[in-house]
């Protein structure tokens, strides 16, 4: 599977406008052409950001699905309204699975207004090659013992971008792991000193709450 972790920078105060539009017009219409819309979130630390995750079976299917969606009727009808909410849409990590699996819940129906109370934390490391084995052997168990077990892990997918009309970040090696807490108050941060010498940049933590129609809940 190929995953995209997308994080849009929005115009001030426009997040709810985009979320409403996205959940009404861009969920089923992406899935109809073969895109797995996995999760949409509010970023607790940035009210003008919209992070979300989607997936594809492989890079060839990604090209076909994105071509179908972005030339299709839903995007053509609503793209101006969506783009009007955004400052930047190029913060996109192309990822492959590197351990674990994101659990899925049934998607609430259109018009559902109640979001889940859970908190998802995506931690992004910039790393050197070989980090995956180090994380699995020496880090994951320490995180679990501290109350933040990694639910799923991902690493940079270095395949050529098969749909260049949508840029992705290149020239970097990242490792991303997700933790889930039942409530925001349950969040924990575990210090793993051995990580310091393995990272090439400071880690980044995205504290995410699911939107009403996210299948990550």
Which secondary-structure segment (H or E) carries 191? none
Here the tokens at position 161 are 């971008």
Phi, psi at residue 116, to the nearest 5°?
A: -65, 155
41, burial (CB in 10 Å: exposed 0-12, middle 13-18, buried 19+): buried
Average pLDDT for residues 51-71, to the nearest whole number? 98
Here the tokens at position 208 are 């995410």
The pTM assigned to this predicted structure is: 0.95
Phi, psi at residue 134, to the nearest 5°?
A: -60, -45
Place of tokens 């955004």: 86
Place of tokens 């020239």: 171
Mean pLDDT estimate for the chain: 96
| pLDDT tens for each residue of 142-189 | 999 999 999 999 999 999 999 999 999 999 999 999 999 999 999 999
3-state secondary structure of 197: helix
2-210: CATH, from 1.10.287.110, 3.30.70.100, 3.40.800.20, 3.30.1600.10? 3.30.70.100
Q: Which residues are 154's β-sheet partners?
A: 97, 176
Which pLDDT belongs to residue 111?
81
CA 162 to chain centre: 19
- Ranges of each domain in the chain: 2-210
Which secondary-structure segment (H or E) carries 206? strand 204-210
Which pLDDT belongs to residue 115?
80
């Amino acid at each position: 599977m190929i995953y995209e972790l997308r994080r849009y920078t929005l115009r001030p105060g426009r997040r709810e406008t985009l979320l409403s539009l996205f959940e009404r017009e861009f969920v089923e219409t992406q899935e109809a052409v073969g895109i797995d819309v996995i999760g949409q979130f509010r970023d607790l630390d940035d009210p003008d950001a919209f992070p979300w995750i989607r997936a594809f079976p492989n890079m060839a299917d990604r090209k076909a699905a994105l071509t179908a969606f972005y030339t299709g009727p839903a995007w053509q009808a609503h793209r101006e309204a969506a783009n009007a909410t955004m400052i930047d849409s190029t913060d996109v990590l192309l990822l492959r699975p590197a351990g674990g699996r994101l659990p899925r819940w049934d998607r609430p129906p259109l018009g559902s207004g109640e979001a889940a109370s859970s908190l998802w934390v995506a931690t992004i490391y910039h790393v050197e090659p070989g980090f995956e084995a180090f994380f699995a052997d020496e880090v994951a168990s320490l995180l679990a013992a501290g109350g933040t077990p990694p639910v799923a892990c991902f690493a940079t997918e270095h395949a050529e971008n098969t749909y260049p009309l949508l840029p992705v970040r290149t020239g970097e090696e990242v490792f991303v792991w997700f933790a889930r807490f039942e409530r925001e108050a349950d969040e924990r941060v575990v210090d793993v000193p051995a990580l310091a010498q393995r990272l090439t940049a400071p880690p980044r933590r995205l504290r995410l709450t699911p939107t009403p129609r996210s299948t990550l809940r």
